[in-house]
Amino acid sequence: MPSLAKVAQPRTVHEVAQLVIAAGPRGVLARGAGRTYGDGAQNGGGTVLDLAAFDSIDLCDDGDVIAGAGVVLGHLVPRLLDRGRFLPVTPGTRWITVGGAVAADVHGKNHHVDSSFGAHVRWLDLLTADGEVRRLSPTDADPRLFHATMGGMGLTGVLLAARFATIEAPTASVRVTTMRVDDLDRLMALMVDNDNAHRYSVAWVDAMSRGRRLGRGVLTLGDHARPDEVLQARRGSGVAGGRLADEPRLTAPQVPVSPLNRLSLAAFNEAWFRRAPRLREAEIVGIAPYFYPLDAVGGWNRLYGQGGFLQYQFAVPDSGSDVVRRTLERLSALRAPSFLSVLKRFGPGRTQSPLSFPLAGWTLAIDLPARTPGLGAVLDQLDEEVLVAGGRLYLAKDSRAVPATITAGYPRLGEFRAVKNDVDPRGVFVSDLSRRLAL
Amino acid sequence: MSDALDRPATILVLGGTSDIALATVRAMRSPALSRLVLAARPSPARDETVTLLESEGFSGVEALDFDAADTSSHEELLDAAFDSTDLDVVIVAFGVLGDQQDFEDNPDHAVEAAQVNYVGGVSVCLRVAQRMRAQGHGSIVVLSSVAGERARRSNFVYGSTKAGLDALASGLADASQGTGVHVLVVRPGFVHTSMTAHLEAAPLSATPEQVADAVVSGLRRGSTVVYVPAALRVVMSGLRHLPRAVFRRLPI
């Protein structure tokens, strides 16, 4: 059951400052678009700031963007594409805000090449507990507050705006190579071999398949397409270019009983797997279907019914790559209905930021219905394996870890706390997540 | 804050030595549980319960002095319980069963039972609800009884105290809609506990573990009322509608 907070919608920096200074014992938290899977954007009994009014977008001549914290990436992307630019990093949905991207230091399919969002941020405007606005940059003499804020889940202050770099995107399409792979070992080997040749790389894994087919999946490797490639593709087969609809094409209804069960999802995963080609090279795909496939179905999360779902996402170094296999083994043995899961290689993490999630190696993300019998105990065991392998859980996705798991996975949590304590000695900025995990 | 799997991190038991409450905290136990407060009158039984739970591996077990009948002490007690952390689940488990004949012979004893079961229940339920609303989340589990649903000749004093508590808790459940607070009213039939050991078991009796499982699943589903065993819902619905002249003559 979600917690209840007062939501305020400040329109000016002054109003934000007043709300922060007037914060009661339950504190304040800024919230983005509310897409976090766990309780990171909730503050039970306290105040939650909706910064939707901070939606200014300024496209600079050097290709940078200055965006308000409330800017939704999905509204920024079309304007960038008009100029032949694209987000330096984008997660799997475009309906998150710039503030959320900073708070979670989000990563995308290009992490192995381009790192996470924080690597592209020039500066942040952060309103701290004293009501002052500080401009923070990674080149500051003391960049600790900047780095604590990147990935800091909104606990260092209220982000007002950020300036970040963009990348070149000559068209609104991506040139994609797709490979269907029958088992996990081959899939992981292919990813190791091919990743560096492509800007984008991600594998969708069938988390319900077992035995010899365990971890079968579809690897997609992508690069921004050149105009001549798009033209050629249009002439040949009439492949769509970069359609980027604002609204989802379908909307999932609120359902009393979830239609997602073991049989329906196993059938879906099977059909999806069979539909993928063994090997297809140089297909031209629009930005939206490539980066944001789930955005095509609005409110897809509702399909899980009242019981809801959770996502388990961890990162482990290469030396712990067998944790990926064991996770799929354990979770497929639960016979939980699970949509396609995501497997991806990470490049080096941004070690400057104590709470930034990515670390060089592998990350796996699996959606699971929360009411799956036995799920809690299995995930608790997997936490142990992730930690032993030197890995960690993603705070932006977590909804069930215990404090010790986070402390062990983020060995520099103490540094984060020191910076936070310095800038927010009263502990004004809190969330249900920070209380649950004693951050 | 309970996690996405409905596992509480903190639990307060009011009536901390109750068999049903102990079975319930065992059923709610997980690595997420970090604090368990047992509020009860200071007694060897309370100390033994703390020791027992610690020997079972529970961590963060605390005992607080609590007298259900002394409502003037409840504000301070609950301030102490809510002081260091949020409380995710509060189990209102205290109560006295008494003896019907004794209640009729000694009305003072009946008043004392009402003071504990009903007046004490009013006092803690409302105070806990206030604090949970302030924290924006939490679940209150109130142990009622089918005895309160329609008072029977054989134990109507006890039944009336539970009827009052049940009405209070049901109303509080409605009043809590949309506040982040969830109230679960638990209506067991005869439960095999130390409180009922001297009595002959009634039909459709239950164990404390069955009550505990019903509480856990009721919280997960967001139910307002659970019967234990579940079949009692139908039985009680029948009994409720029996003509009084017939109900009075039933051997129950």
pLDDT for the residue numbered A307: 79
Return d(Cα B41, Cα B64) in angstroms, integer: 8
| φ, ψ for residue A32, nearest 5 deg | -90, -115
Q: For residues A214 and A322, is the Cβ–Cβ distance under 8 A?
A: no
Q: Spot the catalytic one: B58, B82, B118, B158.
A: B158
H-helix or E-strand spanning residue B114: helix B107-114
Question: pLDDT at position A195, please?
Answer: 87
Of all residues in chain B, the one with the smallest CA distance to A309 is B4
Among A239-248, A249-258, A403-412, B30-39, whose mean pLDDT is lowest?
A239-248
Task: Calculate mean pLDDT across residues A107-130.
Answer: 98
Asked which of A162-166, A288-292, B41-45, B73-77 is least confident by mean pLDDT, the reply is A288-292
User: Is B136 within 8 Å of A3 when comparing Cβ atoms?
Assistant: yes
Does B230 touch chain A if contact means CB atoms closer than 8 Å?
no
To the nearest whole percent, how much of chain A has pLDDT over 90?
77
Q: Which pLDDT score is estimated for A285? A: 93
Looking at beta carbons, which residues of chain B come within 8 Å of A44? 1, 86, 135-137, 180
Q: Quick check: is B118 catalytic?
A: no
Min Cα distance B124 → chain A (Å) is: 20
Instruction: Pick the range with the lowest mean pLDDT from A62-71, A237-246, A421-430, B231-240.
Output: A237-246
Rounded CA-CA distance A353/A363 in Å is 18
For A406-416, what is the mean pLDDT?
A: 98
Residues B127 and A258: their CA atoms lie apart, in Å, by 37
Q: What is the H or E stretch that residue A250 is in?
A: strand A250-251
Q: For residue A248, what pLDDT is reported? A: 62
Can you give the pTM of this predicted structure? 0.92
A400: nearest CB among B5, B133, B220: B5
DSSP of B197-240: TTSPPPTT-B-HHHHHHHHHHHHHHT-SEEEESTTHHHHHHHHH
- Residue B204 is predicted with a pLDDT of 87
Please report the pLDDT score of residue A15 as a whole number: 98
pLDDT for position A241:
46
pLDDT band at A246 (very low <50, low <70, confident <90, very high): low
Low-confidence winner among A69-78, A116-125, A338-347, B64-73 (lowest mean pLDDT)? A338-347
Interchain proximity B86–A435, CB inside 8 Å: yes
Q: Which residue in chain B has the smallest CA separation from A44?
A: B136
In this predicted structure, the answer to whether residue A237 has a pLDDT above a threshold of 70 is no
What is the average pLDDT score of chain A?
A: 92
Q: Which of A3, A308, A403 sits opposite B180 (nearest CB)?
A: A3
CB contact (8 A) between residue A310 and residue B182: no
In terms of Cα–Cα distance, which of A70, A46, A76 is closest to A58? A76
Range in A108-122, A221-235, A420-434, B11-25 with the lowest mean pLDDT: A221-235
Lowest mean pLDDT among A161-175, A330-344, A392-406, A418-432: A330-344
Confidence of residue A238 (pLDDT cuts 50, 70, 90): very low
CB contacts, 8 Å: B5 with chain A = 310, 370, 375-376, 400
- Residues of chain B with Cβ-Cβ distance to A45 below 8 Å are 133-137, 180
| List of chain B residues with pLDDT < 50 | none
Contact B180 A45 (CB under 8 A): yes
Whether B1 sits inside 8 A of A39 (CB atoms) is yes
Distance (Å, rounded) from C-alpha A39 to C-alpha B227?
32
Partner A contacted by B133 (CB < 8 A): yes
Q: Is the pLDDT of residue A253 over 90?
A: no
pLDDT the model gives residue A258 = 76
* B30 touching A (Cβ < 8 Å): yes
Would you give the DSSP letter of residue A97?
Answer: B
Q: Is the pLDDT of residue A200 over 50?
A: yes
**Number of cross-chain residue pairs from A and B with Cβ atoms under 8 Å apart:** 72
Could you report the per-residue pLDDT of A342-370, keeping only the tens digit for each? 999 999 999 999 999 999 999 999 999 99
Distance CA(A360)–CA(A356), nearest Å, equals 12
Distance from CA of A184 to the nearest CA of B (A): 29
In chain B, which residues have their Cβ closer than 8 Å to the Cβ of A46? 136
CA dihedral for B186, B187, B191, B194, sign (positive or negative): positive
Interface of B with A in 85-114 (CB under 8 A): 86
Using CA coordinates, name the residue in chain B closest to A24.
B134
How far is the alpha carbon of A432 from chain B, nearest alpha carbon, in Å?
7
- pLDDT surpassing 80 at residue A244: no
What is the pLDDT confidence band of residue A249, given thresholds at 50, 70 and 90? low
CB contact under 8 A, B136 and A45: yes
What is the C-alpha to C-alpha distance for residues B131 and B81, in angstroms, rounded to an integer? 10
- Chain B residues whose beta carbon lies within 8 Å of the beta carbon of residue A402: 31-32, 34
Does A114 have pLDDT greater than 80? Answer: yes
**For testing contact with chain B, the best of A400, A405, A431 (most B CBs within 10 A):** A400
Answer whether residue A259 shows pLDDT above 80. Answer: no
| From A2, A376, A432, residue closest to B7, measured CB to CB | A376
Are B182 and B219 spatial neighbours (Cβ–Cβ below 8 Å)? yes
Q: Measure the CA–CA gap between A64 and A165, rounded to whole angstroms.
A: 4
Percentage of chain A beyond pLDDT 70 is: 96
Residues of chain A with Cβ-Cβ distance to B178 below 8 Å are 4
CA closest to B181 among chain A residues:
A3
Closest residue to B4, CB basis, from A5, A399, A402:
A399
Q: Which residues pair with A85 in a beta bridge?
A: A168
Chain A contact set for B1 (CB, 8 A): 3, 39, 44, 432, 435-436
pLDDT of amino acid A271: 82
